[in-house]
Copies of this chain bind each other. A is one copy, B any other.
Amino acid sequence: MGFTDWMYTIQQRTESTLDAALPQVRHAPSRLHDAMRYATLGGGKRIRPLLCHASGEIFAADENDLCTAAIATELIHAYSLVHDDLPSMDNDVLRRGKPTCHVEFDEATALLAGDALQALAFQTLATRCPNIAPERQIMMIHLLASACGSRGMVGGQALDLAAVGQQITQDELELMHIYKTGALIRAAVLLGAHCGNAPPDALEHLKHFANRAGLLFQVVDDILDAESSTATLGKTAGKDAVQNKPTYVSLLGNTGAKALATSLQKQTHDILSPFGERALRLHELTDFIVERNF
């Protein structure tokens, strides 16, 4: 199977697994369930699920276990976007080419939908995966929770808000992104490896990969935000500049940001090389994300 077919297959499985995990609109409270599904289904590149599957393939992990871990990361991602878009946060009206959740529904419903999506992520990851030792599954839940918390994704959002309009250094910007987007990307990669019962040294190695990859994706995001149109992105373009948010482009210029991306991409290749052909999908996926213009 070529990479594009592989990616499409995983995206389809992610969609159907999410669909099955999300509560039906016919069950009360309907409006809340409608908002949860609206915020999660029918859009998104499913980068975290793809990373989880690609990482799991290195260790020949079970497909069903991978789907469980993958959608847990995507449910967290979906909840974070809903809360991020709220008026008291980024106050955005467009996401994945559609009105944001609080615009389509209302603020209270969007807040609660995000809260419930977070709970559903942990409920999902606490569904017993028969091919994973239970002690390891508990560690996986701990890993995801830690990645989402105040010293992970949510902490990064707090640092991001605090940085608006501030002069910050490249090191500070890197720290913010390691928290804000890096932590969940790292969790996705590690959860996939855990599904395949990866040994500790391989997990350490993949942590190193994920840290570089997370930064790489952020640099690419910043370049896309500066260069693309809103129609292409499916979310409001150029808003980093409008909101006076520090980005790799504002800090290093367009050329500097692109040079950093090239360097990080090379590093991810080097880190993956010991895994050889088993890391083919992870390798291809990294290149794909860098070269995307969607």
Report which A residues bind B (CB closer than 8 A): 23, 27-29, 31-33, 36, 79, 83, 86, 88-89, 106-109, 111-116, 118-120, 122-123, 126-128, 133-135, 137-139, 141-142, 144-146, 148-152, 154-155, 157-159, 161-162, 175
Contact = CB atoms under 8 A, between A and B. Distances in A.
Contacts of A118: 115, 118-119
Nearest to A144: B122
Most chain-B CB neighbours within 10 Å: which of A115, A155, A161? A115
16 contacts: A28-B155, A29-B159, A83-B115, A88-B108, A89-B111, A112-B157, A112-B158, A112-B161, A115-B118, A118-B118, A119-B148, A120-B149, A122-B141, A123-B149, A134-B138, A138-B141
B128 A138 contact: yes
A93 to B, nearest CB: 16
A142 B115 contact: no
A183 B219 CA distance: 43
Chain copies in the assembly?
2
Q: Chain A interface mostly helix, strand, loop or mixed?
A: helix
A19 to B, nearest CB: 15
Nearest to A147: B119
A117 to B, nearest CB: 9
A116 B155 contact: yes
Contacts of A112: 83, 150, 154, 157-158, 161
B135 A128 contact: yes
Most chain-B CB neighbours within 10 Å: which of A89, A128, A138, A146? A138
Contact of A27 (B29, B86, B151): B151
Contacts of A127: 142
A33 B135 CA distance: 29
A239 B116 CA distance: 26
